Amino acid sequence: MFDVIKALWEESGIYAIFNGDWKAIVMIIIGLILIYLAIVKKFEPYLLLPIAFGMILVNLPLGGLFSDPEYAWRMIVDGVATNTYIPELPSGATMLNPNLAEAMIDGQLVQLKWELQNVGGLLHYLYEGVRLGIYPALIFLGIGATTDFGPLLANPKTVLLGAAAQFGIFITFLVAILLPQFNGLEAASIAIIGGADGPTAIFLTSRMAPHLLGAISIAAYSYMALVPVIQPPIIRLLTNKKERQIKMEQLEPVSKTKRILFPIIVTILVILIIPSAATLIGALMLGNLIKESGVVPKLVDTLSNALLYIVTILLGVSVGATASGELFLRAETLLIIGLGIVAFSVATASGVIGGKIMSKATGGKVNPMIGAAGVSAVPMAARVVQIEGQKEDPSNFLLMHAMGPNVAGVIGSAIAAGAFLAFFA
């Protein structure tokens, strides 16, 4: 009886944790902290909550939720399948078809059939949606169905501010690629954090540096949640009181025809120029076209609610499952988090500087703060601009003006990801 209890104890996850798997304990604690931040502090709860729980699931020892399926050759003797498996074909074996072979084993001619021995863990299969780029594309489809490009169409020049904010991505790329710890693929994946667009960061990293997916996704969503903390000091540092008090003219209404043509034209132009951006831009613009068409309200409701939230759960859990202790608890992770804040800060600063240039060029008709919304954290960055504007003048309403560069930033970060894919392909 004692031997049975001892065997059960030694096969338990608790025994594994207390016998050297300290990294799993640390990751479980990190997961619990992220759950606290998501629930209590409301830091990006829709995605941080499933990411954190995925981290906990994959770091609980012996659960095998992220294990790969296992195949082996099963011996068939005299036409009868045995319970004997061998991992590799013996030398001299003859292939009868892709799943069946003949071989001499111990002087006897036997058949060997390629069979599934272990189906693998659930998270292994859910992760295929990340690896193949399915979940980020579906997220963009839902985002497109919830995005209003009207402010951008009403003031097209604000697309330049969305473009200016992307400098944070490319400057961070240059910094990261100079560090000996990272190659070009890893540097590009880290730099995309500056776009403040979680799905884009996940999409690019899953293609270029999947081993960094846990660290990069957590950094990206953490900084998106900290937009109200990070951006205001940068905005105030780069602008003066007079600039922050600038009031902008009310935007003109945008016709339905322009709203419908916009996603079609953007899709054609962007994909012709950067074909590798087709997945994200195509999904984003299809979702927006469905919304603006006005003829399929049930599809709009499905994309912006049920589909978006279902995919968010699957994406979050799958990404969290990549944050195992062995991959996450490395010095490079801290460096990635540090470079992430550099990317996000430079993106905010370059957007504000672009806003100052535009303000000068228009004779003070543009409030430079709206450039900070060029990072694609929609609509949080635009809200930060609105709040900062009203601190200086309660009658100043900048939200809709800031939404122009904000949605332009979504397009910009997707194009930046496509550019990296094209360059490294």
- Which pLDDT tens digit goes with each residue over 181-210? 999 999 999 999 988 888 999 999 999 999
Query: Per-residue pLDDT for 20 more than 70?
Result: no
Q: Where are the beta strands (DSSP E) in 2-93?
A: 70-77, 80-86
The predicted structure's pLDDT at residue 81? 87
Q: 248 and 395 in contact (C-beta within 8 Å)? A: no
The predicted structure's pLDDT at residue 98? 87
* Model confidence, pTM: 0.87
| Per-residue pLDDT tens digits for 40-57 | 988 889 888 999 999 999
Arithmetic mean of pLDDT, 394-423:
94
As a whole number of Å, the CA-based R_g of the chain is 26
- Could you give the CA distance from residue 179 to residue 166 in angstroms, rounded to a whole number? 21
| Per-residue pLDDT tens digits for 289-309 | 999 999 999 999 999 999 999
The predicted structure's pLDDT at residue 66? 87
* Of 97, 192, 106, nearest in space to 413 by CA: 192
DSSP state of 99: T
Question: Which amino acid, 349?
Answer: A
* Of 150, 144, 159, 387, nearest in space to 250 by CA: 150
Arithmetic mean of pLDDT, 395-420:
94
Arithmetic mean of pLDDT, 104-112:
87
| Per-residue pLDDT tens digits for 232-278 | 999 999 999 999 999 999 888 999 999 999 999 999 999 999 999 99
- The structure tokens listed for 157 are 């020049």
The predicted structure's pLDDT at residue 415? 95
Coil vs helix vs strand at 375? coil
Query: Per-residue pLDDT for 61 more than 70?
Result: yes
